[in-house]
Amino acid sequence: MQTLFRLGYVAMSVHVKNCSPSQTMTYSTFQKIPDKDSAMIRLEQIAKSNITNSLRLLKHNRAHDIYFFRLSSRLIPLATHEDLRDWNYISGVKRELEELGSYAKKHEMRIDFHPDHFVVLNTPKKDVFKQAVQTLIYHHRLLRGMKVDPVHRCVIHLGGKYGSKEESLERFVDNWGKIPNAIQKMIMLENDDKTFHIDDVLYVCEKLNIPMVFDIHHHLANQRTKNWGNQWNRIIKTWSGSPRPVKIHISSPKSNKQFRHHADYIDIGQFLNFIQQINGTVKQVDCMIEAKKKDDALFRLTEELRTNNMIKWNNKASFYLESV
């Protein structure tokens, strides 16, 4: 079996200027605006700009054969703020969302989300859990607004340790039962760099039938000495019931001292070593490049890969790896 490797990147471009998809308004600024109607209009303007800028980014991606992209989770500022609970934050940006979604569908692009680490489903605090669910519902509404199938489009982590890792793992399982089925179907789980390593995430993913996103950098930060090769077959099995291809996260450590931080670019040696190990195990692997230099890191990686004669290009940003 030949494996198609497809490259993608995160949320924003360093090449396309004046194209932020994450412009925002803080709550303290919002409160300082005396006229609430004009404050709401301003919020909607920012949201429209963020969404149309995301569409511009998809067009930029298409020009470079990039069909895999993580949208910013900050498209609509203050959407999940509890003092704005009554605000129908979707209705004002319906047209923009539909346009974004239809462009992605038309060009068969994989788009997804990865909310900040504040979405913690295994928290023992009721209000934190409630807020996490609200944020997930927000992502679900965005996807429905785009008229994109929400299944397996939102990556989150297992959450905090709270003293006992075992209990916190089980609390995730318990809390999972408390969230709506439609939200469950949207979620994928990723190993983190401090607490929950591959085995923990696999345990939960297999138990609850959730696809697992493997993050090689997190694995090295968390379990530097342990080989992940044995678990890879289990990881790809978690995707067997998914309409989407296997997805992984790739980033390189900034330095030994700041190991957990993302470097500007991707280390080509590490990348090649990684894809060689998984080549031939599955039909397609989508590789999310998580580097400070965003799309420029993707471009540099493809430039470096071009000098390698084992790479057979499918297009400018996807390829096969010839086995030796």
Partner DNA sequence: CGCTGTCAAGACGAA
Partner DNA sequence: TTCGTCTTGACAGCG
| 116: contact with DNA by CB under 7 A | yes
| 195: contact with DNA by CB under 7 A | yes
List Cα–Cα distances, 284 to 6, 79, 181, in angstroms. 8, 35, 27
| 28: contact with DNA by CB under 7 A | yes
Instruction: Give dist(CA 233, CA 81) in Å, integer.
Output: 41
Neighbours of 247 (CB within 10 A): 25
| 42: contact with DNA by CB under 7 A | no
| 162: contact with DNA by CB under 7 A | yes
| 144: contact with DNA by CB under 7 A | no
Nearer to DNA, 116 or 166 (CB): 116
Give the bridge partners for 284, in sequence order: 4
Looking at residue 188, its amino acid is M
| 84: contact with DNA by CB under 7 A | no
Instruction: Give dist(CA 35, CA 60) in Å, integer.
Output: 38
Q: At its nearest, how many Å lie between DNA and the CB of residue 154?
A: 16
Sign of CA dihedral 21, 27, 32, 34: positive
Q: At its nearest, how many Å lie between DNA and the CB of residue 117?
A: 7
SS3 261: coil
Nearer to DNA, 62 or 292 (CB): 292
Instruction: Give dist(CA 224, CA 234) in Å, integer.
Output: 19
Of 139-147, 158-166, 203-211, 306-314: span binding DNA (CB under 7 A) = 158-166
Residues 220-259 that bind DNA (CB under 7 A): none
Q: Which residues bind DNA (CB under 7 A)?
A: 12, 20, 22-29, 81, 116, 118, 120, 123, 125, 128, 131-132, 159-162, 194-195, 260-262, 292
